[in-house]
Amino acid sequence: MPDLFSPYTLKGVTLRNRTVMSPMTMYNSVDGQLDDYHVSYLGARAAGGFALVFGEQMAITPEGRTTTSCGGIWKDSQIEGHARVCKIIERMGAVPAIQLGHTGRKGSELPPHRGVNANGSKKQLPPDHPDGWTCLAPSAIPYGSGGHIYPVHALTVEEIKGLHQSYADAAVRALAAGYKWLELHFAHGYLGASFFSPLANKRSDQYGGSVANRARFHLEAIDAVRAVWPEKYPLTMRLGVDDLNPAGTQFDDAVEAIKMMKAHGLDLADLSLGFNTDEMIDSPMKNVGFMVERAHRVRSEVGIAVATSWNLGVPQNADRYIRQELIDLVMLGRPALANPHWPVWAARELGYGSPFSLVQSDWRWWLENFRGHAPSIGWPEVQPLQAPDQARKAA
């Protein structure tokens, strides 16, 4: 039976455990470049025991970013920064992973920690702003919420083909940088997610209407990347499988689409919500592991490996989902930001025999030896639980 700390192999890549540092947008890039910030931040998560480490979604074109402070891999000069990140992740014992994406009609934003823009909107900047641009979408329908009110450009078929080539070109650069796992971000209301959602996609050509047509953007992107990405390395997708709105993406449709994607070479489905509208019915955002049930259904019905995130930061829950074989990998975003050594902490909480075995051998040696006073390294001893009568006597 697998557990949270058992190895996991997909294609030619073996992960040392089942914990994944999920992509998190950090708003710390200039011209899409990765630098010392990213080397330090992502290297720390690899050093902390995560098995697979993603940076943020990397834009395949400049207008594919969320903000002008976001990372990308749309030109060769960006490869060097990515290569530095890959080297530190591997040196710390983890596998470097990249997520490629295009934010579509949710781009041209102001970094959220910078407050509101001049128009009082919390997010989107107008196209004529120095840090703004006209967003791209399957149909000329702005997102609407969060200040996303500016006109968007409906992509032509020729432009769609160009974007698929951009995905492939970015994959070639990712391989040159040293990544060994590639994910496409088609969730969270970004471009791929909007093509699949009837809320955003009103096209009447081969990219709109039926499930097969709405999934065509995804399938052609997989084909383009698979043609240049080695078979020995996993190709995965974060997919928005439900808009939680009767007019949007429906989960049953997503299951059918994933079957098609598997036939086109998808190795793992990373399930999330569509977020193509803020008008979600019975939002589960505060519920523990609310995507696990959907992920397990995909795993069972499609016969494909699955991962998911959302409220999995309690070790006992994450471990249980792996032991019950509901999911294959646990994606952790905010928990990884809060605690770069989350896997080591989780191992201790779960009573794993050697928590420090999750970090590289030199650190492990120091942490497991010469501990005259056990708590002196900031690692308090776990006191055995006492029965109520024993606790009263001790008092």
- As a whole number of Å, the CA-based R_g of the chain is 22
pLDDT at 392 over 50: no
| Of the listed ranges 152-166, 234-248, 319-333, 358-372, the one predicted with least confidence | 358-372
- For 42-92, write each residue's pLDDT tens digit: 999 999 999 999 999 999 999 999 999 999 999 999 999 999 999 999 999
pTM of the model: 0.92
> Dihedral, CA atoms, 285, 291, 293, 298, nearest 10 degrees?
150
- For 289-315, write each residue's pLDDT tens digit: 999 999 999 999 999 999 999 999 999
* Token pair 């606790």: residue: 391
H helix runs in the chain, sequence order: 36-47, 79-91, 157-177, 191-196, 211-214, 216-226, 251-263, 292-302, 315-323, 334-338, 342-349, 361-368, 388-394
- Active-site positions read 190
Domains of the chain, first to last: 8-394 (3.20.20.70)
CB–CB of 19/342 below 8 Å?
A: yes
**DSSP line for 112-126:** GGG---TTS-SSBPP
User: Across-strand partners of 21?
Assistant: 53, 332
Q: Mean pLDDT over residues 346-370, rounded?
A: 88
* Greater model confidence, 139 or 395: 139
- Whole-angstrom distance, CA of residue 207 vs CA of residue 199: 14
DSSP-derived secondary structure letter, 301? H
pLDDT at 285 over 70: yes
